[in-house]
Amino acid sequence: MKLLPYPHRMGLGEAFQANDMKFAFVNPHKDDFQMVHSWVKCREYFNELLMKNHHPEYEFVTTYGFDYKPDEFPLDLSATRIAVKFMSLEQKQVFMNNLQWIHSVESANDIDHTVVHDISAQEVLLIASKLWIQKCLLTNIYTLLIKLAALNVTAYTKSSLFGIRITDQQPSEIDYINRLTVPVFNSILENCTVIAEIPSKYVDGTDELRLPYAVHGSSGLMALLQYKPKKKSENVLYALTNGLKKAFLGKYKTAFIKEAA
């Protein structure tokens, strides 16, 4: 099994990330897998990728250098297939040791477990339920789970989690949990199938077609938090924030992130 590289150059404009893992969606190609875009660390690019593949009428525009070619590489939506490039062999092993943690989230949502195929010393291919590509928010959550597993998140509790550092920098994904709060994050992870069932015209969670920069920057967990307090007339993500109002109460059955040792 080989990972076939994306044949076009992308001049990506990506911000610094302490947890510098990279991702690429892939399609099956005979016995191998074809990358449908270059390696990226900015997971917001996937918002435009999903919008174009779920909604052909969406006018794809290259955003921050993400020069995806949908006519040449339409994404196979029959399952979630993502290649992951780790920062090191050690980080890859940490991820593998924490794979059961991702499986626990999938079990809570009654979906198939992620299967891992080894590609190289620092690369793997993940094949998972198509649930994770049914909404931009779900792809954002799934790729966040991957990054958290690679940070050995199961070894930490609510209080110690925020001490995680990579070369003296706190990874942005830890800040996301801090802003959501651990109880709300746990509750959202239990409600991924609910997210998939919340009706919206577009997979970015809206009922109006937005411009590419809005899709890029305002379709994930942090956008959900940003729009939650807005009144309905000002909340383009109202269907999602209203559909998850119970999750925002922070009541959960499974402590995916432990609150206490």
pLDDT of residue 1: 84
pLDDT of residue 190: 97
**Taking the model in full, what pTM does it have?**
0.97
| Contact status, residue 174 vs residue 161, Cβ threshold 8 Å | yes
Map out the domains of the chain as residue ranges. Answer: 3-249
Location of structure tokens 């943690």: 101
Q: What is the DSSP string of the chain?
A: --EEPPSS---------SS--EEEEEEEETTEEEESS--BS-TTHHHHHHHHHH-TTS----BTTB---TTTS----SSEEEEEE-SSHHHHHHHHHTHHHHHHHHHHTT-PPPEEEEEETTEEEEEE-GGGGSSHHHHHHHHHHHHHHTTTGGG-BTTTGGG--BTTB--HHHHHHHHH-HHHHHHHHHTHHHHHHS--SSTTS-SSPPPHHHHHHSSSHHHHHHHTTS-GGG-TTHHHHHHTTTGGGT--SS-SSBS--
Q: What is the mean pLDDT of each run of 10 residues along the chain (261 residues)?
A: 94 93 97 97 97 96 95 98 98 97 98 98 98 98 98 92 92 95 97 97 96 95 96 96 96 93 63
